[in-house]
Amino acid sequence: LKIGIIQKFMKDNDLEAMLLFNTEGSTPSIFYLTGFSGNDGALIITPNCAKILVDSRYTEEVKEILTDELTLVKTGTRTIYETIEEELNSLKIQNIGIEYSKIYHRDYDKIFKNKNWNIVNIDEQLESMRNIKTVEEIETMKKAIKISEDAFVEMLNYVKPGITEKYLAAVLEFEMKKRGAEKPGFDTIVGSSFRGALPHGIASEKKLEEGDMIVIDFGARYKGYNADLTRTIGVKSITDEVRNVYSTVLNANKEAIKAVKAGESGFDIDKIAREIIKEAGYGEYFGHGLGHGLGIEVHENISVSPRSKHTLKAGNVVTIEPGIYLDGKFGVRIEDDILVLKNGYENLNSLSKDLIIV
């Protein structure tokens, strides 16, 4: 069905063929269109057929995903490059669309250098197709989020002074896998005290201490789809300044989420959160965008930020993640995953955002 949609797009745009290929692994669009996630596969689509090209390591796995519209081409004794070239040559075509951002320069040269094909960059078309989630995709993402949240609740039992950030991250990742996650979608961030002010500081050997705030940014990958959420918790006791910063970030998170609906711009949603943080006197301490698209990739191409040119559409899933980072002291970030609806939104998270002091 998804291949059918892309074939219609090809007919409408006079595109004779598409080659999706990356030697280091299946690209997000190959996975999206076929479910194939092995390495070294290539996908060739024409308006009338789709072929997946793999070597003997993957032929059994691929048989599971073959349909009337998707057939298998074995590389056999040929290299993947020779196989791609022979398949493309046999099509007798001029225009080939490629995933420009996913192909390696050396692979591009090997396949296309000194050839007469006209190469068209179709990154944007593939991304905008993937930006509108299907009902099945949303169900899978809900499951990824539920796994993440349940693991977080279990992890809270381990938070105490003396254990390291890495230990806490390991507990969280173990609990996610126990619940069915393939793996964490990205390196788990556990940033305590001053390390919480590094928005992307991954878990270190630093030990938790009484009075620390801990920024925990994490998410399970489940059946190829990612969760991405952040909670900030306190250890034993916290100051009034921390309490004030926390309630500012929480307010920014909630008000921005309330404004989400199809037709709103990423710029305007970001502005709502940014103004709240500015009003509270912390404007210069919120340095990153408010959110991003989420799905097969942890960062998909929708942006909710001061630089955003996106208008939200029903079926988009975006993160809303305001933060305040006080250098050398602490950070607070609160992140939810939000499904855009025609007349509003659905918060895919149900994990409490009240300030937790463990």
Residues in contact with Mn ion by the rule CB under 5 A = 228, 319
Q: Which two tokens stand for residue 321?
A: 């993640």
171 vs 294, which CB is nearer to Mn ion? 294
Q: How far is the CB of 321 from Mn ion (least distance, A)?
A: 5
Q: How far is the CB of 223 from Mn ion (least distance, A)?
A: 20
Task: Please count the CA atoms within 13 angstroms of the CA of 99 that sit on its side-chain side.
Answer: 20
137 vs 228, which CB is nearer to Mn ion? 228
228 vs 300, which CB is nearer to Mn ion? 228
16 vs 228, which CB is nearer to Mn ion? 228
234 vs 323, which CB is nearer to Mn ion? 323
Q: How far is the CB of 247 from Mn ion (least distance, A)?
A: 21
In 3D space, the residue among 355, 290, 345 whose CA is nearest the CA of residue 317 turns out to be 345
Q: How far is the CB of 153 from Mn ion (least distance, A)?
A: 20
d(Cα 86, Cα 241) in Å, to the nearest integer?
66
Going from the C-alpha of 238 to that of each of 243, 246, 302, 330, the distances in angstroms are 7, 11, 36, 11
Q: How far is the CB of 240 from Mn ion (least distance, A)?
A: 28
Instruction: Specify the DSSP class assigned to residue 261.
Output: -
The type of residue at 84 is I
Using the Cα atoms of residue 279, residue 285, residue 289 and residue 295 in order, give the sign of their dihedral.
Answer: negative
Instruction: Specify the DSSP class assigned to residue 156.
Output: G
